[in-house]
Structure 1
Amino acid sequence: MRALAAAVLLFALTACSGGDTEKSSDSTAGLKVPAGITLSEPGTEKKVGESLAIGYPSADDEAGTALALGVTRVDKAPRRDLSLYRIPAGMQPYYVRVMVGNRGPAEASFPEGLPWWLHVAGDTLTPATAVPGRFAKCAPPKVGRTLAAGATAKGCLLFLVPRGTAVESVDFQPGGVTTAVRWRP
């Protein structure tokens, strides 16, 4: 019986002493968030006109950076603005004005372009449509494959959605749908 009690006590002490493998509360994994920046969690929703900050590509990435993001306007585009271009029948163009600022500490990489999506009725995500570089009515943010720490880019994204379809949100989605933050009109 004493042997059993000793084994249980030894097991309990071993289980409680696992602290050597845990990180201390003052050491954090992930990116070093610049002073004055509070990161929003995936799933955060804002109103158009508000901004937020996220860890990019995620807050857990030590090589990541903090991005400040905002959607300032969502407008139906006048068809006359696009009279020189072929818009598919039954589609409604939207101008979405956005801002992306890299607050550091690292460079942000966008190998596939900025991950902005228009979320429309029917739980459908629509990507931005490429526009000619000289289209002044909706010039995209000047962001290449990277955005340096400290840099900010503002611009307009053109989205084409089926006419009569309600716009539910503008989403910045750096990974799967669970990473999205969104702005509701």
Structure 2
Amino acid sequence: MVGGLFLCGTALAGCGSSSHHAAPSPSPSASSGDAGGVASGYPSVSTAPGVALTAPGKALQVGETATVAWQPAQHVTGVLGLTVTGLERTSFEQSFKGWELDDATKSNAPYFVTATVRNDGTTDLGGRPVPLYGLAASGALVEASSFATDFKPCQPSVLPTPFPAGASAQVCLVFLIPNGGALDGVSFRPSQAFDPITWSGLVSSLPSPSAAGKSPAGKSPSAKSPGGKSPGAKVSP
């Protein structure tokens, strides 16, 4: 990791992953029976009375909620209510002022996705990244960028700690669409074999600072490191 900003993975296949930021696994931990009324592709999980998991393959509109079983680690399984609330197109000039970006990063098109996440299970999922991916118009699945410091125009991208049963949080994810492409939607796809749940809707333009009366970040913090240099940017090959 170089400098204060780490932008991971424009195309999902080119991204490194960790236990807390993993690409879809090759095969799911499939449930042997119904979990909240839905079987295919989900890990085995207990759901509260009245909580039914959304059928894999469901196509939703922005503003609609999917209830999903999610296994972010081998011995950690939870249930989330995911509501994608907004899709916004931005630019490096508008939202990344003060950041040092290389040419490879600037060849991508930046988008912000806002969502509400609710813990509908019993497992504390605090500190976990939100399991949503960007869908490029080209068909590529794009992983959310991760930052080594606060990125105030669009945060947080991880769930707060703690995040117990019944908790809810507003999140914001940054997606860099390869080759200046367009964001077509958002996907929950925890494994390659899972039939993804998707969201689509109107992609709006992020209001300009003059239209909003101030910049998206309010001001441009973290633009300079303690040493007086702009933090660097790195995109995984």
TM-score w.r.t. the length of structure 2 is 0.55
Query: Comparing both structures, which one devotes a greater share of its residues to strand?
Result: 1
Please list every run of 5 or more consecutive structure 2 residues that lacks an aligned counterpart in the other structure: 1-32, 34-38, 202-237
Partner of 2:55: helix, strand, or coil?
coil
Q: Which portions of structure 1, spanning 4 or more consecutive aligned residues, are displaced by more than 4 angstroms?
A: none
Change beyond 3 A, Cα 1:182–1:145: farther
Give the CA deviation at 1:40.
0.4
Give the CA deviation at 1:45.
1.4
Query: Comparing both structures, which one devotes a greater share of its residues to helix?
Result: 1
Matched, 1:37 2:51: yes
> What is the identity percentage for the equivalent residue pairs of Structure 1 and Structure 2?
26
Equivalents in 1 of 2:196, 2:169: separation in Å?
A: 20
- Count of aligned residue pairs for this structure pair: 155
Q: Which moved more, 1:139-148 or 1:85-94?
A: 139-148
Give the CA deviation at 1:100.
1.7
Matched, 1:93 2:110: yes
Matched, 1:157 2:173: yes
Residue identity opposite 1:52 in structure 2: A
Residue identity opposite 1:151 in structure 2: A
Give the CA deviation at 1:86.
3.6
Change beyond 3 A, Cα 1:146–1:73: same
Structure 2 partner of 1:74:
87
Give the CA deviation at 1:145.
8.5
Partner of 1:80: helix, strand, or coil?
helix
TM-score w.r.t. the length of structure 1 is 0.69
Give the CA deviation at 1:162.
3.2
**Aligned counterparts, 1:102-117, within 5 A:** 102-108=119-125, 113-117=129-133
Give the CA deviation at 1:95.
0.6
